[in-house]
Amino acid sequence: MMSETTAPRTYKDFAQPIVRRLLLTRESAIIALLIVVLIGASLIVPSFASAATATYLMLDVATILLISLLMAPIMITGDIDLSVGSMVGLSSVVFGVAFQAGLPVPVGIVLALVVGAVGGLFNGWLITHIDLPALAVTIGTMALFRGIAVGLLGTTAVTGFPQEWTKLARAKIGDSPIPVIMILFVVLLIGAVWMLHFSKFGRGIFAIGLSKEAAAFSGVDVARTRLILFVLSGTIAALAGVYFTLRYGSARGDNATGLELQVIAAVVLGGVSVFGGRGALHGVIAGVFLIGALSSALRLANVTSDVINIITGVLLVASVIASSVLDWFKRQRARRALRSATQQPATTG
């Protein structure tokens, strides 16, 4: 290399070794933190390392896991969907009202999913066709969907769903501690991973997050991509709403109030940039499990929910601050590397 100073430096000369590239990411850091928390909690909290705890942990995080599959791509495009918690409530009510009207459970599920898709379409249409900021639109629909849900059922709840369905929502796979709902989650996860990380559509999502104009000029249908993501987000929130209803056996208008904040906290913690353009699903899933495992361990250790709230908040703030501090260091290093790279030919030649 020193003899051929005039040879152009290729991509490989600048690239990091593959091990460093895989290990030194936000995602790996969160996964490592998750492992530390799991080991630590097993050692400190006596009842944490048990099959029952694992089952309840998975049952509890399932709702957030499902919704985060679409919240992550939406935040990678630089948008946000604050209406998901309210959509969980609305689909729960639609499902409950359909059941009350004597419709069979599968029809109720389909109805709830349709409502979710329509709600998502409404969000997406306002955002892409009327050209409104996602934050403002979904703050509006967050109030609207919740309002319709609470308006339809008031303070009453629909209960008495068929046992086979409520049992299914809590059932485990054979003798393993893994709940059946995880099968549904894994199927959807495979779909989401393919969509986000291995398809043309997914490359478009990252491109939009980096620059909408550049994405449009390189052939990405920006409006269509964003619209599709919001429709999917509404649908999956509705699916989570049906699960939520069956798991607790009760359809209420105020189900899952404030859930959107938990989902966003987990997604941001999992390494999705709030500016858009970066993130990966394995980090997001680790983020969801990290918050879930922390609150489960703290609850078992008889720490009250308010402390869990404080920790969630501090973790969220710390994770975004940490990434901007890290970025600053990286920029400094890159600048130094660039300076020495540009000076090299002068000194050797």
Binding residues for another protein, rule: CB under 8 A, are 80, 126, 130-133, 135-137, 139-148, 150-151, 154-155, 253, 261, 264-265, 268, 274-275, 304-317, 320-321, 324-325
For 196-205, the CB contacts below 8 A with 24+ separation are 196/72, 196/73, 196/76, 196/281, 197/280, 197/281, 201/225, 201/228, 202/73, 205/73, 205/76, 205/77, 205/229
Minimum CB–partner distance for residue 314 and another protein (Å) = 6
Compare residues 63 and 273 and give the one whose CB is closer to another protein. Answer: 273
CB of 73 to another protein, least distance (A): 17
Which residues lie below 8 Å from residue 68, measured CB to CB, with a gap of 6+?
263, 266, 267, 270, 284, 285, 287, 288
Give the Å distances, CA to CA, from 153 to 92, 96, 277, 334. Answer: 10, 9, 40, 57
Question: Do 95 and 108 meet the contact criterion of CB atoms below 8 Å apart?
Answer: yes
Q: How far is the CB of 261 from another protein (least distance, A)?
A: 6
Q: Which is nearer to another protein, 53 or 262 (CB)?
A: 262
Kindly state the smallest distance separating residue 126's Cβ from another protein, in Å. Answer: 7
User: Of 136 and 338, which CB lies nearer to another protein in the complex structure?
Assistant: 136
Closest approach of another protein to the CB of residue 271, in Å: 13
Task: Please answer whether residues 82 and 234 qualify as being in contact, where contact means their C-beta atoms are separated by less than 8 angstroms.
Answer: no
Chain centroid to CA 53: 23
DSSP class of 179: B
Nearer Cβ to another protein (110/132)? 132
| Between 162 and 313, CB nearer to another protein | 313
Is residue 82 within 8 Å of residue 135, measured between CB atoms? yes
C-beta closer to another protein: residue 82 or 181: 82
Q: How far apart are CA 105 and CA 81, in angstroms?
A: 28
Shortest Cβ 149–another protein spacing (Å):
9
